Amino acid sequence: MSNPKISIEEFVKFRDLIYDACGIFFANNKRYFLEARITPRLQIHGFSSFGEYYRLIAHGSRGKEEARKLLDSITTHETSFFREMPQFQALKSEIFPKLIAEKQSGIKRIRIWSAACSSGEEPYTTAMLLSEDPTLSKPPWQVELIGTDLSETILARAQKGIYSEYALRNTPAPYKLKYFAKVGYEYHIKNQLRQRVQFSQLNLCDAVKMKSMRGFDLIFCRNTLIYFDFRSKTRVVEDLCNSLVPGGYLFLSMTESLFGVSDRFRTTRLAGTVLYQKVVEP
């Protein structure tokens, strides 16, 4: 029996449901992509139409749980350690020394948030660099490192900290040796590093929860806003800006830009990469 096809009306219903839940927007040309991603969920439930599956999510008693699974199946979790290396070079050689100098006479505390951290490679990379820093790795400095994502399934993987060789393809050899235990073909993050990152579930479009995220010196939100439309991107960027301290930095991917999205940041070029710095408001 051939797989059911998604009609234009069903596509619109799923598109709107996904958009309202997490800000990801599927344009009309993504109809067959969405069909392919949702089809396995239909098969698991033994449904023969997208309409039946939609009713389960919208009206069924297990709707919420199934909506989570649907979002897991349509989101892209692609990531790796030391992804976009120049940004981590800037972190190590420019941002850390700058924060140390700025906070020398005050509270020696730094707060870093990896928003949309997927399976944890991004915050663990930051944790490695912090552990290597001669100043920040020791008291009295306290560095809080938080990793959040929409997906609880992917966060469970982050918490486990078990990776393939492929996830470590950009990782310099000394870091591989120092921070991972090789078990067969797997690389297990060592406990001392695992304990440095606190993971929790957070939807960037949850305005109430976003309000509880305040006082961060640095925020990573890379390779995520590209899936959002202008409206949800603008709203999330505004919230992320509110979460940063004045002068704090937002790391986007090198292929992303805030042009036309927010005037509360200025671009700054550091160590061959572009970062966004929150403007100090009068």
Please report, as ranges, the residues that interact with ligand SAM according to CB under 6 A.
Answer: 22-24, 75-79, 83, 116-118, 122, 149-151, 154, 203-205, 222-224
Looking at this protein, which amino acid is placed at residue 253? S
Q: Tell the smallest beta-carbon distance from residue 83 to ligand SAM (Å).
A: 5
Q: Tell the smallest beta-carbon distance from residue 140 to ligand SAM (Å).
A: 30
Nearer to ligand SAM, 4 or 113 (CB): 113
Distance CA 274, CA 272 (A): 7
Contacts 24+ apart (CB under 8 A), 8-11: 10/50, 10/51, 10/54, 11/35
Q: What is the DSSP string of 86-137?
A: HHHHHIIIIIHHHHHHHTTTS--EEEEEEET-TTTHHHHHHHHHHHH-TTTT
Q: Tell the smallest beta-carbon distance from residue 62 to ligand SAM (Å).
A: 21
How far from 251 is each of 92, 106, 138, 247, CA to CA, in Å?
14, 25, 25, 13
Nearer to ligand SAM, 49 or 234 (CB): 234
Nearer to ligand SAM, 4 or 71 (CB): 71
CB 13 within 8 A of CB 53: no
Q: Tell the smallest beta-carbon distance from residue 226 to ligand SAM (Å).
A: 8
Strands (E) located in the chain: 109-115, 142-149, 162-163, 180-183, 186-189, 197-201, 216-220, 244-251, 265-270, 273-278
Nearer to ligand SAM, 68 or 108 (CB): 68
Nearer to ligand SAM, 22 or 250 (CB): 22
| Cβ-proximal residue to ligand SAM, closest one | 79
Give the dihedral sign, CA 10/226/194/101: negative
Q: Tell the smallest beta-carbon distance from residue 280 to ligand SAM (Å).
A: 26
Q: Tell the smallest beta-carbon distance from residue 153 to ligand SAM (Å).
A: 9
Nearer to ligand SAM, 4 or 128 (CB): 128
